[in-house]
Amino acid sequence: MMDISEVIKQIPFWKNLVDEEKTQLLSGVVLRVYKKDSYIYGTTDACLGMIYVQKGSIRVYIINEEGREITLFHIGSGECCIMSASCVITGISLDVQLLAEEETEILAIHSGMIQKLMDSNIYVRCFAYELATKRFSDVVWVMQEILFARFDVRMARFLLSVYEKTGEKKIQMTQEAIAKEVNSAREVVARMLKQFASDELIELNRGAILIKDFEGLKKIIE
């Protein structure tokens, strides 16, 4: 279990707070633990405020009119997210959902506390807006990928990104999970993976993919 008084010191703007603000912040923080695949936040929930991920990973996504999930970005250990704080930064209008991809521990900073610190401390205010700007840049990149990038390029880029993150040639993911990451239908993912396998870029196994030709995948992206 996390020690809030120690973990909170890892929040980037902690060092820029005066003693009184640090005391206030400690009183406005809640420790929460979520199991894998647990729902964390949605648009119908009360404003969550800013969150800091101490351990685990969170997938941030939206749901389109057809009910399909579109992954926007991921929040990993040591990262903050303010997309769940639309009541604090009024410019945030995305109806995002947050889901724990694995057992995840977070610090949730109450929206009222973040607002108070943003009003009184320029460092907190700059941090919050820079964070929001970065996340919206992530969202724009995803939209550009969906609208303009060929699907084989998106798939190749995804496979290589997973390898870069894990260092493992074997990717343990179902086609359903991959579809959510590349923002497409499972059937489309299945067809593309079969094509990649036919081209000997990958090898398909039950619930897993083995990357065989890294250079071939890179050429698709180029």
Q: What string of DSSP letters covers 166-211?
A: H--SEE---HHHHHHHHTS-HHHHHHHHHHHHHTTSEEEETTEEEE
- pLDDT for residue 91: 61
Say what the pLDDT of residue 192 is.
97
As a whole number of angstroms, the distance between CA 95 and CA 162 comes to 26
Asked if 139 and 155 sit in the same domain, the reply is no
Residue appearing with tokens 């990104």: 161
- How high is the pLDDT of residue 22? 96
Residue 54 clears pLDDT 90, i.e. is over it = yes
pLDDT at residue 87, as a whole number: 66
How confident is the model at residue 105, as a pLDDT?
A: 95
| Mean of the per-residue pLDDT values of the chain | 91
Are 133 and 178 found together in one domain?
no
Structure token digits, residue 89: 């930064």
Q: Are residues 153 and 101 in the same domain?
A: no
Q: Of the candidates 96, 120, 147, which is a domain's last residue?
A: 147
The Cα diameter of the chain in Å comes to 63
Same domain, 33 and 69: yes
- Average pLDDT of the segment spanning 184-209: 95
* Confidence at residue 3, expressed as pLDDT on a 0 to 100 scale: 80
At 68, the pLDDT band (50, 70, 90 cuts) reads confident
**Is the pLDDT higher at 3 or at 45?**
3
Whole-model pTM: value is 0.84
* Number of separate domains in the chain: 2
Q: Which of 81, 118, 107 is nearest to 5 (CA)?
A: 107
Give the C-alpha separation, 218 to 160, whole Å.
8
Region of poorest pLDDT, from 35-39, 57-61, 94-98? 94-98
Residue 183, pLDDT score: 93
Where does the pLDDT of residue 62 fall: very low under 50, low under 70, confident under 90, or very high at 90 and above? very high
Among the candidates 112, 147, 182, a domain finishes at 147
From residue 204, give the alpha-carbon distance in Å to each of 24, 36, 123, 172, 195: 53, 25, 49, 11, 11
| Helices (H), ranges, the chain | 4-7, 19-27, 111-120, 122-148, 151-166, 175-182, 186-198, 214-221
- The predicted structure's pLDDT at residue 43: 67
Give the structural domain span for 195. 149-221
pLDDT at residue 1 above 60?
no
Question: Mean per-residue pLDDT for 195-214?
Answer: 95
Do 136 and 166 belong together in one domain? Answer: no
Do 141 and 72 share a structural domain?
A: yes
Q: Which of 147, 179, 206 is the last residue of a domain?
A: 147
Q: What is the mean pLDDT of the segment spanning 18-24?
A: 95
**CATH code at 157?**
1.10.10.10
Q: Please write the tens of the pLDDT for every residue from 90-147.
A: 666 678 899 999 999 999 998 889 999 999 999 999 999 999 889 889 999 999 999 9
